[in-house]
């Protein structure tokens, strides 16, 4: 017990890194995912194909491999300009990866909006962009929230994979403590911290869902 208490600050530091990784990956992933989704819905076949290819690659290969690619392989292939620190490589890999998953979630949500909404917007003289921005995308928010919530929680846990490139997020911090103290008991408070973080996101997404449900 004393051991656990004395290690709490160290675990919290790791948890902060885990949170940073998750939040950055979700924010960039959402922006990237939105544009990928719009690209997939575009009438331009080339744009559609490029976005399809991107999603195919990032959903079709293991996240761990992508992390290794950005950390180890890129500088070997392209020179030291591309030698990112572990944090940057982790941000890039997690953002690009979550972007691919979120793109498909966003695309499905947009496509689930009744096509009468687009027709009504066009009949009122709105451009495709205006209709998307003002009418279609805002309606997709509510449908986005449950699957995006899932993705965020999955991402938070997947961020443990970046411990493999030496980032001391919660998982590696736990391993470091466990190795130094020759005791596995530290995994208990660590698991509790993961639970607290995922619960926090669950709570936020439940609130958001309620907020966007007012008109239904």
Identify residues 151-170 at the interface with another protein (CB under 8 A).
163-168
How far is 26 from 132, CA to CA, in rounded Å?
22
> Residue 55 burial (CB < 10 Å; 0-12/13-18/19+)?
buried
Instruction: Tell whether residue 53 is a contact of another protein (CB under 8 A).
Output: no
Q: How far apart are the first and last CA of the chain?
A: 50
CB of residue 101 vs another protein: minimum separation in angstroms?
17
Distance CA 67, CA 162 (A): 7
CA–CA gap between residue 162 and residue 78 (Å, rounded): 22
CA pair distance 191, 174, nearest whole angstrom: 10
- Examine residue 2 and tell whether it contacts another protein (CB under 8 A): no
Q: Which of 2, 43, 45, 60 binds another protein (CB under 8 A)?
A: 43
Q: Does residue number 60 form part of the binding site for another protein (CB under 8 A)?
A: no
114 in contact with another protein (CB under 8 A) = yes
Residue from the set 2, 9, 45, 60 that interacts with another protein by CB under 8 A: 9
Q: Which stretch binds another protein (CB under 8 A): 8-16, 104-112, 147-155, 194-202?
A: 8-16
Which two structure tokens, joined as six digits, stand for 60? 């079709």
Stretch that binds another protein, among 104-112, 133-141, 147-155, 192-200 (CB under 8 A): 133-141
């Amino acid at each position: 017990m004393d051991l656990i208490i004395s290690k709490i600050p160290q675990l919290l530091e790791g948890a902060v890194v885990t949170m940073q990784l998750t939040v950055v990956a979700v924010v960039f992933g959402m922006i990237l995912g939105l544009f990928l989704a719009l690209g997939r819905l575009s009438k331009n076949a080339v744009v559609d194909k490029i976005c399809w290819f991107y999603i195919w690659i990032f959903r079709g290969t293991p996240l761990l491999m992508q992390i290794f690619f950005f950390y180890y392989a890129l500088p070997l292939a392209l020179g030291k300009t591309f030698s990112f620190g572990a944090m940057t490589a982790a941000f890039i890999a997690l953002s690009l990866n979550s972007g691919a998953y979120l793109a498909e979630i966003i695309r499905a949500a947009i496509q689930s909006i009744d096509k009468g909404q687009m027709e009504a917007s066009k009949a009122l003289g709105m451009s495709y962009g205006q209709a998307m921005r003002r009418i279609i995308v805002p309606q997709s928010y509510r449908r986005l929230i449950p699957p995006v919530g899932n993705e965020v929680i999955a991402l938070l846990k997947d961020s443990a994979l970046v411990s493999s490139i030496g980032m001391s997020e919660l998982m590696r911090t736990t391993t470091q403590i466990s190795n130094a103290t020759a005791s596995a008991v530290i995994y208990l408070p660590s698991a509790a911290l993961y639970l607290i973080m995922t619960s926090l996101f669950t709570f936020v997404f439940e609130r958001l869902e309620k907020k966007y449900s007012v008109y239904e």
